[in-house]
Amino acid sequence: MADNDSDKWVWFSDDDPLPGPLKPDLQTPVDLFQFDEIPPEARKEPGTDGLVRGLELHVAGKSEEALEVLETALAAGEPAADVQAAIGGIQFALGRFDAAARAYRAVAEAAPEHKTASYNAAVCEERAGRAAEAAVLFDRAAAVDPDRREAWLGLGLARLTLDENERAVEAFDRYLQGGDDPRARFGRAVALQKVGQSAEAAGIYEGLLRTGQNFPELLHNLMVLNTERGDFEGAAAAAARLLARDPQSAPALSVLAAAAFASGDFAAAVRHNEALVALAPTHDTWFNLGVARQSGGKFEQAAEAYTRALEAMPDSAQAAANLGLVLQQQQDLNGAAKAYERALQSDPTMAGPLWNLALIAERRDELERAEGFYSRLLEHNPRMADASFRLGYLRLQRGDLPGSVAAFDACLAERPAWGDAWMNKGIAHWRSGDRDGSREAFERALAEAPGSVEALRALAALAIERGDAGQALEYQKRLIDLGERSPEVLYNTALLLQRDGRLDDAIRYYKEAIGERGQFAEALLNLGHALKSMGQEGEARQYWRKAMDADPELAEAYFGN
């Protein structure tokens, strides 16, 4: 008994997620040495001539000369903190963040309680892209001056960069205690999104939108968050707003395509994916276009898209597998088989191509080849019950009864309630002469499906074989109760009743069988015999004559015996 022979399509989806939440495109405010606020006459203190001269040169636009003078002043023993601070400020203005950071660090080491040194050093480290060093310095700056809000903002940004998201939330909270700032609220939402607090993050994003904030990172993150939550409507709304700002936003088009796909609007999914292909004709965009076209029933166009995906990435197992699917859906079995074989060259363990190659081989009556595919499939997927079932069925067909039983055992280990598997296992046992194993399997099949006609017939036949007429009769009656009133079922029931001496019931069932099949010679003969036993010899002869007309050879053999 075979499982449903309909094709079992294996679906592949492209695993190309959207980028994660974008962090704020912000920088902490600069609080550096303000040269225009330090006129030379205000610094005419003993031992500060080099510092003053350096400041004059910088204000005059001669920054390199200023640095030389300041380095000389530092070597001459002028106040280190002031001179290093000036050097740091000039280096920062020149964009030399490493040198500026070294100068401000020197100030902080010389004067740990300095109000701006650690903060400015942190800003320099942040500009240089060293988030870990910046976080340490912002933390120190906040400890030196807890009321410096910018230090908490910088600390939050640095921790966000380091994926220390829970600590980033704490820093943003400290910053926001001093007043609202949409940038900090956005950073806080990003950190919350990263730790899985989606609802709170979404609330912040939506609140920012209501206040007129509409920058791309905000729309992107709301789009990603709603996609992760399965809120495709919300994701599509954010994507549409982002696309209005940037008509070439690939992430926005991807989300709109996914939302259309989720809603079953495959035409829109195709449209958005075609726009993506126009922007970036990569393997992924062609592949997704193929999925959209295939889902909309456009198999020929889907095949074209998968072919283009393979041109972009020749070893793409997924594209080759899906090309096989659409070709198989178009009944191009040769083309499908070639595509599946190509997929397996890239990934020999892929379940879908192996399964479908086996089905194609079965359709072509290449049963030995089909067995090979199912065996390969089970090597990599030993718990795949469907494959074990098909393998057991093929082995049963060619007479490998022990192999068939073994395959059905593997199938039933994964799906113990599969009645058809129990039936096929029972047949394999029966054909091998194992009546006990056969009866046990048929009984289990009947337990899983109490209305199984096949199981009842098999159990009735086994009962007759072992001479248990009473048990056989019980199974026959259950068949009749289920509505199985075929001539054969009625005849067998009548025959068992006749053997049990219940002639009235036997006659009734014989007549009902003959009513279903007027030329049923065996039933006509046995009905005559039952009637004769009841003393109705005249009526018996009438049925015997009908039996002779229906099958003379059978009647002659019967009467001869």
pLDDT at 42 over 50: no
* Residue bearing tokens 């005849």: 491
Confidence class for position 11, pLDDT limits 50, 70, 90: very low
Q: Is residue 155 a contact partner of residue 138, using CB atoms and an 8 Å limit?
A: yes
Q: What is the pLDDT of residue 15?
A: 35
Span 262-269, average pLDDT: 91
Q: What is the pLDDT of residue 6?
A: 29
User: Which is more confident, 358 or 14?
Assistant: 358
The whole-angstrom separation of Cα 509 and Cα 546 is 17
Summarised one tens digit per residue, pLDDT across range 330-386 is: 999 999 999 999 999 999 999 999 999 999 999 999 999 999 999 999 999 999 999
Average pLDDT, rounded, for the chain: 87
The whole-angstrom separation of Cα 411 and Cα 238 is 47
- 165 closest CA partner among 209, 197, 206, 207: 197
The predicted model scores a pTM of 0.63
Summarised one tens digit per residue, pLDDT across range 437-471 is: 999 999 999 999 888 888 988 898 888 888 888 88
pLDDT at 303 over 50: yes
Summarised one tens digit per residue, pLDDT across range 536-550 is: 988 989 988 888 888
Q: What is the pLDDT of residue 40?
A: 44
SS3 14: coil
Q: What is the pLDDT of residue 21?
A: 60
Q: What is the pLDDT of residue 319?
A: 95
pLDDT at 51 over 80: yes
The whole-angstrom separation of Cα 74 and Cα 498 is 124
DSSP 205: H
pLDDT at 322 over 90: yes
In the chain, the domains with their CATH numbers are 450-561 (1.25.40.10)
Element counts in the chain: helices (H) and strands (E):
31, 0
Q: What is the pLDDT of residue 395?
A: 95
Instruction: Report the amino acid identity of residue 349.
Output: T
Confidence class for position 27, pLDDT limits 50, 70, 90: low
Instruction: Report the amino acid identity of residue 255.
Output: V
pLDDT at 429 over 80: yes
Summarised one tens digit per residue, pLDDT across range 200-255 is: 999 998 999 898 887 888 888 888 888 888 888 988 999 999 999 889 888 899 89
Confidence class for position 35, pLDDT limits 50, 70, 90: very low
SS3 400: coil
Q: Give every CB contact of residue 521 below 8 A, 6+ residues apart in sequence.
A: 547, 550, 551, 554, 555
Q: What is the pLDDT of residue 335?
A: 96
The whole-angstrom separation of Cα 508 and Cα 525 is 14
Q: What is the pLDDT of residue 521?
A: 86
Q: What is the pLDDT of residue 116?
A: 86
Task: Cite the DSSP H helix spans in 60-130.
Answer: 63-75, 80-93, 97-110, 117-127
Give the C-alpha distances (Å, rounded to integers) separating 250 from 85, 236, 347.
45, 13, 29
- Joined tokens for residue 508: 């009734």
Span 405-433, average pLDDT: 95
* Residue bearing tokens 């595919």: 373
Summarised one tens digit per residue, pLDDT across range 62-78 is: 999 999 999 999 898 88
Other CB atoms within 10 Å distance of the CB of residue 231: 17
Q: To the nearest whole percent, how much of the chain has pLDDT over 90?
A: 53
Confidence class for position 112, pLDDT limits 50, 70, 90: confident
Confidence class for position 28, pLDDT limits 50, 70, 90: low
pLDDT at 8 over 80: no
